[in-house]
Amino acid sequence: MRFKTEFKKKLRKDLGARLCHLRESLELSRNKMAGLLNVTRSAFQRNEEGRWFPEYTTSLKLSEVFNVSMDWILANKGPMYHI
């Protein structure tokens, strides 16, 4: 059971780091990014800090609005942006 918990924490932390990297590469504040994704600033902050997994709809919106690969967002596979 401990392995599952540690694994989930690592997944959340890694995904959060990718969200932070994306936001910073776009030179957006957390407020602006949250607004573009139609989530609260605090929800986006919890995603970015790895405390929560983003909602599926938020991940889809990231992909659509910023042309970011879902494979990259969720699993760090392939390039960040769709080619």
36-53 pLDDT tens trace? 999 999 999 999 999 999
pLDDT in tens, 55-68: 999 999 999 999 99
Residue-range domains of the chain with CATH:
2-54 (1.10.260.40)
Task: Enter the pTM of the model.
Answer: 0.90
Q: What is the reported pLDDT for 2? A: 76
User: What single letter denotes the amino acid at residue 41?
Assistant: R
Residues 6+ apart with CB under 8 A from 14: 50, 76
Q: What is the pLDDT of residues 4-32, one digit of tens each?
A: 889 999 999 999 999 999 999 999 999 99
Task: Give pLDDT, residue 1.
Answer: 64
SS3 content of the chain, % helix, strand, coil (to 5): 70, 0, 30
